[in-house]
Amino acid sequence: MKSTLAKNSFKRGFAAAAAAFALISGPALAQEPIKIGAFLSVTGPASFLGDPEQKTLELYVDKINAAGGVLGRKLKLVSYDSAGDAEKARTFAKRLIDQDKVDVIVGGSTTGETMAVIPLVEAAQIPFISLAGAVVITEPVKKWVFKTPQSDRMACEKIFVDMQSRKLSKIALISGNGAFDKSMRAQCMDVAKNYGIQIVADETYGAGDTDMTAQLTKIKNTAGVQAVLNAGFGAGPAIVTKNYRQVGITLPFYQSHGVASKEYIKLSGGAAEGVRLPAGALLVADGLPANDPQRAVLVAYKHEYESHYKSDVATFGGHAWDGLMLAVDAIKKAGGTDKAKVRDAIEATHGFVGIDGVFNMSPTDHMGLNLSAFRMLEIKGGDWTLVK
Amino acid sequence: MSPQFVQYLLTGLTVGAIYALVALGFSIIFNASHVINFAQGEFVMIGGMATVSLVAVGLPYLLAIPLAIATAALVGLALEKFAVEPARDASVVTLIIITIGASMFLRGLAMLVWDKNLHALKPITGDKPIAIAGATILPQSVWVLGVTLAIVVALSWFFGRTLLGKAMLATSHNRLAAQLVGINVRMVLFLSFGLSAALGAIAGILIAPITTTSYDVGVMLGLKGFAAAILGGLGSGIGAVIGGLVLGIVETMSAGYLSSAYKDAIAFVIILVVLFFLPSGLFGKRGGERV
């Protein structure tokens, strides 16, 4: 009895699989799919970036295919896990170009991985949309390279604008020794004078450090400090925030967009109250005014992602949404996958409403965002609120 | 003493106490086998992560902490049984390489069993800073210092007063002689892994409310603990404790008074200088290797 049941269900399963196979392969035989290549840090130290990015790409490639694909062709996602390793990223990018022969590459969760791949895509002349933050990716402009996240320089500028409006001009900087931290620190130092900001203390901490009270005590005892800015992501900023309250500093405290996830609030406990940071509008999607141009796109993405994966949406997944949709938009406009035409179409993107902001690309700007892409948020009652 | 100095000292002691616990774990296994167990940091991680997940399913600290320590001890015993013991006739270098492999394996396993996120534990008794002479210390830091002190006292009793402890000590002095007087040296090695793992786990649990924990938290703590053990003299219990405290204090003092960018460099330079004059560490056994 039991065995026949098993046999029956086996048969049924087989039939279903065969039917599914026929369904998938049917249209694919008729027309080649459009291949989207990706290399993301799904595991490793930057997995908090790569994981939501990968999930976003999978979810939306499926969605687009279910709605009939692009130009009547299905999308096919070819994705590799580069684990935060620039060397692996290079190998996978080579494979995407030479073996998989993808039409466009979306990926590079970190700046290091992205920079390692740029010489390859420039040589192969294939459109590449990076999901990493640093300014160096698109400055100077590289013909085939674009990026979707707001840059660290913009984060500094947004913070300094807010400081100016609060009449804070002497600040202390504390940052980690990771690539993100270092790049943001350099950018902030670079643009500070444009906003009349003077950096009177500059402290750093190591990647595995367990306590930053020494650095903060030093800042506390530096004369004239009016505000403190912490550039970093991961465990570091959470420890800095806790130590900040412990040593009893009461000055306004700013964090970077690197901590723009619920995780940070959770990890620092009550200590994160009153902290301000620049972040994409996604975190406050439901709280945006109805006339905000991004509201509809943000709310749709947030709800689709959260209902599908049963976990909180992260800004980083939004970078991947923008990358994929910019590519799809460009392929539609180019009327096919001719690489040069797709590249020109991405560069001509104008008024494209994405998750990270409204994109206006140009031959001199391959990111296409301005300061309005960042919102200044303050943590109140364990949640994000928009600073008016 | 200025409040600043007190602050640096208190911070240094807290950080150093954790290094000391990790360093003790290195020393115990080194004594039993002359193996440097590079999976020591992973025991720290398992302690913290196991507590996080046990607390998440609703267990109180009183149950979650002993269970997490037991979990780590079991992992330590299993590591000895299934990875180190089958290769017991191999050279020490081979065994060390095995522990490096084990540490990677455990880290990967933790990533799958738990996740890749950072987790925070609630402090055992609140998080309102305590003011001491113009400086502040978290109640959790008091726990770190108190528990470390208690462990040091308990360990010195264990090694000085109990038969099992004496057997372990005897094995570290002369393995062959210990075997000849009837000590089961294989059992000693087996137990030393369990004990080290438990110590590492305690460190991991104590530090998790202060620093957060994640699957890869063991890498840096393991490295710092190893440096502390070397500084104090590998194999010396008191050396591990002093080495840990010195490393912690030097780090915070250089961050506070010199440059936070070079604090790790300064700490390691001091270690190198000490080792140049005292190659076997502050409290290590004197004299060269007998051939």
Using pLDDT thresholds of 50, 70 and 90, give the confidence band for residue A27: very low
Contacts with A247 from chain B: Cβ below 8 Å: 7, 129, 136
What secondary structure does DSSP assign to A109-151, as a single string?
A: SSHHHHHHHHHHHHHHT--EEE----GGGTSS--TTEEE-SPP
Query: By C-alpha distance, which of A124, A101, A131, A108 is closest to A36?
Result: A101
Using pLDDT thresholds of 50, 70 and 90, give the confidence band for residue A262: confident
Using pLDDT thresholds of 50, 70 and 90, give the confidence band for residue A80: very high
Structure tokens at A15: 């039939």
Contacts with A203 from chain B: Cβ below 8 Å: 255, 260
Contacts with A205 from chain B: Cβ below 8 Å: 255, 260
Helix extents (H) in chain B: 3-33, 40-56, 61-79, 92-113, 139-161, 163-173, 175-180, 185-211, 218-232, 237-253, 263-277
How far is the CA of A122 from the CAs of A129, A139, A256, A348, in angstroms? 12, 15, 31, 19
Inside any domain, residue B285: no
Interface of A with B (CB under 8 A): 43, 45, 47-48, 51, 177, 203-211, 213-215, 217-218, 221, 234-235, 238-239, 242, 245-248, 263, 266-270
- Top pLDDT among A12 and A135 is at A135
What secondary structure does DSSP assign to A165-185, as a single string?
A: HTT--EEEEEE-SSHHHHHHH
Number of domains in chain B: 1
Inside any domain, residue B81: yes
Coil, helix or strand at residue B122: coil
Question: Which residue, among A42, A182, A221, A246, would best test binding to B if mutated, counting the most B CBs under 10 Å from its CB?
Answer: A246
Residue with tokens 């540490």: B103
Q: In sequence order, which residues have a C-beta less than 8 Å from that of residue A27 and are 6 or more positions away?
A: A74
Option in B4, B214, B260 nearest A205 (CB) = B260
Question: Which residue, among A49, A51, A217, would best test binding to B if mutated, counting the most B CBs under 10 Å from its CB?
Answer: A217
- CB B210 to CB A206 under 8 A? no
Question: Which residue, among B4, B7, B10, B259, would best test binding to A if mutated, counting the most A CBs under 10 Å from its CB?
Answer: B7
**Pairwise CA distance, residues B230 & B188, whole Å:** 23
pLDDT tens digits along A287-309: 888 899 999 999 999 999 999 99
**What is the reported pLDDT for A12?**
57
Option in A210, A234, A247 nearest B207 (CB) = A210
- CB A208 to CB B7 under 8 A? no
Contacts with A242 from chain B: Cβ below 8 Å: 127, 210
Bridge pairing between strands A198-204 and A170-175: parallel
Q: In sequence order, which residues have a C-beta less than 8 Å from that of residue A219 and are 6 or more positions away?
A: A172, A174, A201, A203, A225, A228, A249
Report the gap between the CA of B164 and the closest CA in chain A (Å).
35
Inside any domain, residue B180: yes
As averages over each run of 10 residues, the pLDDT of chain B (291 residues) reads 86 92 92 88 94 92 94 95 88 90 93 85 85 86 93 92 91 88 89 93 92 87 90 88 93 87 83 85 65 45
* Same fold for the pair A31-150+298-370 and A153-279: yes
CB-CB contact of A163 with A382 (8 Å)? no
Using pLDDT thresholds of 50, 70 and 90, give the confidence band for residue A32: confident
Does B263 lie at the interface with A, CB-CB under 8 angstroms? yes
Inside any domain, residue B208: yes
Chains A, B: CB contacts within 8 A come to: 98
Length of chain A: 388
Contacts with A47 from chain B: Cβ below 8 Å: 116
Q: In sequence order, which residues have a C-beta less than 8 Å from that of residue A346 and are 6 or more positions away?
A: A127, A129, A146, A326, A327, A330, A361
- CB B210 to CB A242 under 8 A? yes
Q: Which residue from A minimizes the CA distance to B221? A: A208
Quote the longest CA-to-CA distance of chain B: 58
Q: Which domain holds residue B232?
A: 3-277
Inside any domain, residue B35: yes
- CB A45 to CB B216 under 8 A? yes
Question: Residue A116 pLDDT > 90, yes or no?
Answer: yes
Question: Residue A264 pLDDT > 60, yes or no?
Answer: yes
- CB B264 to CB A206 under 8 A? yes
**What is the reported pLDDT for B118?**
84
Question: Residue A11 pLDDT > 70, yes or no?
Answer: no
Superfamily of segment(s) A31-150+298-370: Response regulator (3.40.50.2300)
Give bridge partners of residue B135 from the DSSP assignment: B132
Report the gap between the CA of B78 and the closest CA in chain A (Å).
26
- Top pLDDT among A342 and B263 is at A342
**What is the reported pLDDT for A314?**
84
Least confident range of A14-28, A98-112, A189-203: A14-28
CA angle B13, B15, B20 (to 5 degrees): 85
Q: Which residue from A minimizes the CA distance to B116? A: A47
pLDDT tens digits along A59-71: 999 999 999 999 9
The residues spanned by each domain of chain A are 31-150+298-370, 153-279
Report the gap between the CA of B102 and the closest CA in chain A (Å).
17
Order the strands of the A128-130 sheet from edge to edge. Answer: A75-81, A34-40, A104-107, A128-130, A145-147
Report the gap between the CA of A242 and the closest CA in chain B (Å).
8
Length of chain B: 291
**Pairwise CA distance, residues B152 & B139, whole Å:** 20
> Residue B21: is it exposed, middle or buried by C-beta count within 10 angstroms (0-12/13-18/19+)?
buried
Option in A208, A214, A263 nearest B11 (CB) = A214
pLDDT tens digits along A139-175: 899 999 999 999 989 999 999 999 999 999 999 999 9
Option in A45, A177, A211 nearest B15 (CB) = A211
**What is the reported pLDDT for A366?**
94
Inside any domain, residue B9: yes
Report the gap between the CA of B30 and the closest CA in chain A (Å).
25
Inside any domain, residue B284: no
Option in A207, A217, A234 nearest B4 (CB) = A217
**What is the reported pLDDT for A10?**
53
**What is the reported pLDDT for A16?**
55
Backbone φ, ψ for residue B276 (5° rounding) = -65, -40
Q: Which residue from A minimizes the CA distance to B117? A: A48
Option in B4, B210, B261 nearest A211 (CB) = B210
Structure tokens at A378: 């303050």
Q: Which residue from B minimizes the CA distance to A175? A: B261
Q: What percent of chain A has pLDDT over 70?
A: 92
Question: Which residue, among A189, A242, A265, A309, would best test binding to B if mutated, counting the most B CBs under 10 Å from its CB?
Answer: A242
Question: Residue A40 pLDDT > 50, yes or no?
Answer: yes
Question: b vs e for A370-387, b when ≥16 Cβ sit within 10 Å of the residue's Cβ?
Answer: eeebbbbbbbeeeebeee
Arithmetic mean of pLDDT, A5-34:
57
Contacts with A266 from chain B: Cβ below 8 Å: 120
**What is the reported pLDDT for B194?**
94
Helix B218-232 vs helix B92-113: crossing angle, to nearest 10: 150
**What is the reported pLDDT for A28?**
45
CB-CB contact of B60 with B217 (8 Å)? no
**Pairwise CA distance, residues B225 & B214, whole Å:** 18
Does B9 lie at the interface with A, CB-CB under 8 angstroms? no
Arithmetic mean of pLDDT, A123-146:
93
Q: In sequence order, which residues have a C-beta less than 8 Å from that of residue A311 and are 6 or more positions away?
A: none
What secondary structure does DSSP assign to B31-92, as a single string?
A: HHHS---TTHHHHHHHHHHHHHHHHHTT--HHHHHHHHHHHHHHHHHHHIIIIIGGGTTS-H
Arithmetic mean of pLDDT, A102-112:
92
ipTM value > 0.90: no
CATH 3.40.50.150 fits A153-279, yes or no: no
Report B:17-46 residues touching A (Cβ under 8 A): 18
